[in-house]
Structure 1
């Protein structure tokens, strides 16, 4: 693998590495794989590792957060894990995720019943 490898190749490598390391449970691996395939891969499937930048990561996560904070959070986790593996194995010099701002949940006012509404 190199910086010219496609992102799906890194994903396959990452999933295989998780299986070999056997540090997370089978359920967690399945959840990570589902999140990667449904949330992250559609946005990064045609990009090489070299093309993945801060702006694209930020844009994708903000789009997901617009629909669901939870989905964006899950996508952020699996994207961080896959890119961290690319750095550990020297496919990338650094991760663009270090410069993507944290996600913030929208504040909501809880809808509680009052005595008169019961």
Structure 2
């Protein structure tokens, strides 16, 4: 549990892709709400979850709007590099996000005592 003077930190990990649009959208909403409640939030898309960052699909406008709201609320947006490579996506096909080694980020956040929510 965080001290009264320490901000609670939460890593939200999305593994669900566009095949479950409603669920993926709900997870984006969760991350946004956590950030608006004063938590430090990092959002990590890994595996099929990276599809929410894909800029050339039917649901792209809805995802773009939500990702922009999250960014404005201070959510750190990140995408797994290995997942991008496995699916064959390049940075120019994606909405703006930090490209990271997803497994390393998860391990690091656990070591740092972050709350990790996986969907």
TM-score (structure 1 length as normaliser): 0.30
Larger of the two Rg values belongs to structure: 1
User: Which protein is richer in helix relative to its size?
Assistant: 1
User: Which protein is richer in strand relative to its size?
Assistant: 2
